[in-house]
Amino acid sequence: MSKMNYWTDKWDLHEDICPCDVHFNDWIAATGQRGKLIYHFGTGTHHVVGVEQAKNGTGNAVVAITASIEEYQAYIKLVTENAQVAKSYLAYFGDIYLTNPRLLPDFDIVTMVHLCEFFFPNTDSAEYGGLNDRQVLDLFTDKTRSGGHIVFYTKSMGAERTMQIIPEWEKAKPVERVGEFKTLLIYRKK
């Protein structure tokens, strides 16, 4: 058995460094998204997406993944001290490249804001058994309900590689580009 790949760093909230989570919450507010089930790729120690969606009265619920032990520990502390956040925000620790679609519900909104950022050299090896970035995107596209949204971050560390994947993905999957919002690129599943 091989050890799980995990991120040995953490992301604190610094809008000037990584504003995607703040911009995502702004997009939710600007477009009036209510009662949605959201999958969020990357929590940060700030957990700003989960916390905002738990507190803003929209009735949105968030499932988020982190591969950072520190970010997951911050989640445990957060919900231990604020049980109301735990009612609509669930963060779990794992490697997104090991995602099993049978363990996930269908989502209304999926953020792929950190696509192409955390792929390790062994990720898609036979021994490790992980997906590649395109396979992750396909999996979460399949787990997005018709009419739902898939959101990318145009300033991420992996944005250049993500933008190389998107044209082929657009042709293969029933998606359409809706537009941009601040640093986000928004797609809708047909």
pLDDT per residue over 99-116, tens digit each?
Answer: 999 999 999 999 999 999
User: What confidence tier does 135 reach under pLDDT thresholds 50, 70, 90?
Assistant: very high
86-94 mean pLDDT: 97
Query: What kind of fold does domain 24-179 have according to CATH?
Result: Rossmann fold (3.40.50)
Angle at 153 between CA 147 and CA 156, to 5 degrees: 155
User: What confidence tier does 1 reach under pLDDT thresholds 50, 70, 90?
Assistant: low
80-96 mean pLDDT: 97
Single-letter code of the amino acid located at 85? V
pLDDT for 65 equals 97
| pLDDT(90) > 90 | yes
pLDDT for 16 equals 47
Write the pLDDT tens digit of every residue in 39-59: 999 998 899 999 999 999 999
Under a CB-based contact definition with an 8 Å cutoff, are residues 27 and 151 in contact? yes
155 contact partners, CB below 8 Å, separation of at least 6: 19, 20, 183
Under a CB-based contact definition with an 8 Å cutoff, are residues 91 and 64 in contact? yes
In 3D space, the residue among 133, 99, 129 whose CA is nearest the CA of residue 119 turns out to be: 133
Under a CB-based contact definition with an 8 Å cutoff, are residues 87 and 54 in contact? yes
| Alpha-carbon distances of 26 from 20, 117, 151, rounded to whole Å | 10, 23, 13
pLDDT for 13 equals 53
Structure tokens, 30: 């600007």
Instruction: Decide which of 15 and 138 is more confident.
Output: 138
Write the pLDDT tens digit of every residue in 143-186: 999 999 999 999 999 999 999 999 999 999 999 999 999 999 99
Locate tokens 């009419």: which residue?
147
Write the pLDDT tens digit of every residue in 57-81: 999 999 999 999 999 999 999 999 9
| Alpha-carbon distances of 101 from 44, 68, 155, 174, rounded to whole Å | 23, 21, 27, 18
pLDDT for 101 equals 98
| pLDDT(11) > 80 | no
- Give the C-alpha separation, 141 to 144, whole Å: 5
The whole model's pTM is what? 0.93
Locate tokens 């990720």: which residue?
123
